[in-house]
Structure formats: structure tokens, C-alpha cells
């Protein structure tokens, strides 16, 4: 279920007033995952859940993988094309993890 939103602007100088109802993501193992916009508990991990939900709904990574031809030797493949694309797409979308930034070695 996706969020229902009602926004209205009263004047050019007034802030937009948005009222959004909560919406549910797919469960994460045994945990229920709900998106709310009341500011009670905040996390920066919501983007990953939203990307996962969009991927599963529209088949984003499956469709993206279909754009490539994998010419590697099948018997030597450890990670499939779709897995590698998923790692790259999620990595770009979620940004660097604190403390795990890669720095090139000094020359």
C-alpha cells in the first residue's frame, strides 16, 4: 500500500501542509516495516527499503540486467550479472557507509 498524500498551499509565503498516512513495506524477515511521516523515530535506511520495494514491484534490476550480455565463462562465474548490478545500484543509491570509505593507496 502506498502513501496517500493531501497537500495544499495557502499563500506563496506559507509552508506546504502535507498530511500523509502510513504505508507498509514488505516484511523484513519477521519484522513489520511501516513508513510514517510524523517524525517520531527517524532512520536514513528508508531509501533502501523503498528501492527494494520499487525493484520488486516493477522488476527494475531484472529489466536492467536484460540490457546486458554476459560473455563470461559460465563455469567461472561466482556472482551473476543481476547480483553485481544490484550491488552497484544499491551502493549508488544509498551512498558510502560511514567509516568504510575507500581511499586509493599512495603512489
49 and 33 within one domain: no
Note down the domain range covering 16: 1-42
Most confidently modeled range among 2-6, 22-26, 94-98? 22-26
**Residues 34 and 58 occupy one common structural domain:** no
d(CA 61, CA 52): 10
Selection from 44, 52, 45, 35 nearest residue 89 by Cα: 52
pLDDT digits (tens, 9 = 90+) for 31-55: 887 777 676 666 666 778 888 888 9
pTM more than 0.85: no
pLDDT above 80 (res 68): yes
Amino acid at each position: 500500500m502506498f502513501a496517500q498524500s493531501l497537500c495544499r498551499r495557502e499563500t506563496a509565503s506559507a509552508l506546504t501542509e502535507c498530511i500523509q498516512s502510513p504505508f507498509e513495506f514488505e516484511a523484513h524477515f519477521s519484522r513489520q516495516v511501516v513508513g510514517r511521516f510524523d517524525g517520531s523515530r527517524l532512520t536514513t535506511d528508508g531509501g533502501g527499503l523503498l528501492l527494494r520495494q520499487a525493484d520488486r514491484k516493477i522488476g527494475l534490476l531484472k529489466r536492467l540486467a536484460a540490457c546486458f550480455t554476459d560473455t563470461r565463462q559460465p563455469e567461472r562465474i561466482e556472482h551473476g550479472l543481476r547480483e553485481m548490478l544490484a550491488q552497484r545500484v544499491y551502493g549508488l543509491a544509498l551512498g558510502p557507509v560511514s567509516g568504510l570509505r575507500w581511499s586509493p593507496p599512495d603512489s
